[in-house]
Amino acid sequence: MTTSPTVFRVLRDRNARLYLTSLVVSGFGTSSLWLVSGVWVRDLTGSDGLAALSLLAMWAPTLAGPALGTLADRHRRKPLLIALNLGLAALLPALFTVGSPGRLWVLFAVLFLYGAAGAVADAAESALVTAVVGADLMGDVNGLRTALTEGMKLVAPLTGAGLYTLSGGPAVACLDAVTFLLAAGLCALLRVREERPGRPRGNRRQRTAEGVRHLWGHPVLRPLVVAGGTTMLLTSVAGTTVYAVADRLGHSPAYAGVLYAAQGAGSVTAGLLAGPALRRLGERRFAAAGIALTGVALAARAVPWEAVAAATGVACGLGLPCVLIAALTAVQRETPGPLLGRVTATANTLLFTPVVLGLAAGAGLVEPAGPALLLPVCGVSLLLTALALLQRPASAARTASRSPSDANPA
């Protein structure tokens, strides 16, 4: 595997290094808590369904993404990110009180607020990074972001699971809080010139609708985001089987950390290769290839064999980020700066709201259906999604020829 020379151009930039390092630090804590929250709930209740609902609580705020994204366009992005990191660091110690099933509501409430802050932070980060690097490096930056944050699955889940086994959930919450404090300090060191946003026009509903109209009417963005949302729906349904897969292999729920680590290895590779692959294939074909690979991997995971489970984890990590990187890069390239927070948040809602629906559906289906049925169905559906995306170029080109935007139909 070779790394694109543009990656080194990104890493030589001081602001880019600080930005990416802050993502690594906060991503380490987030990945640890993400795994441990499900294990924590299952240990307290013995329920796979409730364990999946802990992930649902974190994803639920994406339903309000377009409205939350207006905050990223109304404030300077750097101070907003600092405030969000400090706020999450102050919130997480509330999890110290969770020690019995009767206190699980505290865990769900914290995860919900965690998800809401994350929705605003994602929109602000997407807008801020356009001030850090040029448009020609967006794919490389987004790929590196994926390689670093998703790559935390190589170490963070195992660290979180180990810390949880030794000291319990509150210790993992403390670790996550420290990472947010460090991320706030790194954001404060960024040297970015930001103009104070102008006085907003219209009411909040009108400002939110402006971002939705831009994305949904765009001939390049809409097909990518729809395919990405479908992919996230199906992979989320499949993701609720992770504890059942571990059980079929004869392992405890903490074995999920091994599967997430394998997925992280694939994500590192996908992120490092994303920039060159986007330039060679374009956003649409790059996304379709990743969706198809993920579909094959999920179908194969139905085989109850430990080596297959590990291999499919790597393949899912390699394939799944492709459509997300492609969609985010297209949003950044095709959206004016004053709209970027709202459009990013709208894209994230369309990409990640299906995660909420998939987790909810999977939580109800995982016990009666089991991984032997759910995984092949999700895999075949992903292959059909990739095929549908590949069949879009002719209609997209016709739409682009009538569009005043300077779109680049991949």
What CATH code is carried by the domain that includes residue 358?
1.20.1250.20
Asked if 277 and 290 count as a contact pair (C-beta separation under 8 A), the reply is: no
Q: How many domains in the chain?
A: 1
- Give the global pTM: 0.73
Residue 407 within any structural domain of the chain: no
Asked if 320 and 227 count as a contact pair (C-beta separation under 8 A), the reply is: no
Residue 283 within any structural domain of the chain: yes
* Closest-CA residue to 379 (of 320, 299, 288, 277): 299
- Domain limits at 72? 12-191+205-399
* Closest-CA residue to 44 (of 114, 106, 94, 102): 102
Residue 308 within any structural domain of the chain: yes
pLDDT for the residue 248: 80
pLDDT for the residue 140: 81
* Closest-CA residue to 314 (of 292, 298, 325, 327): 298
Residue 237 within any structural domain of the chain: yes
Render each residue's pLDDT in the chain as its tens digit; 410 residues.
Answer: 444 566 677 777 788 888 888 888 988 888 888 878 888 888 888 887 788 788 778 878 877 878 888 887 777 888 999 999 999 999 999 999 998 888 989 999 999 999 899 888 888 888 787 777 766 677 888 888 888 877 676 677 778 888 998 888 899 999 999 999 999 999 999 887 776 765 556 566 777 777 788 888 888 899 999 999 999 999 999 988 887 888 787 777 777 777 877 887 888 888 888 888 988 898 999 999 999 999 999 999 988 888 888 899 899 999 999 999 999 899 988 888 778 888 888 888 888 888 878 888 888 888 788 888 889 999 999 999 999 998 865 444 443 333 333 333 33
Asked if 324 and 277 count as a contact pair (C-beta separation under 8 A), the reply is: no
Burial of 191 (0-12, 13-18, 19+ CB in 10 A): exposed
How far lies 36's CA from each of 27, 62, 81, 270, 300, in Å?
Answer: 14, 21, 25, 25, 26
Rounded CA separation 183/189 (Å): 10
DSSP 92: G
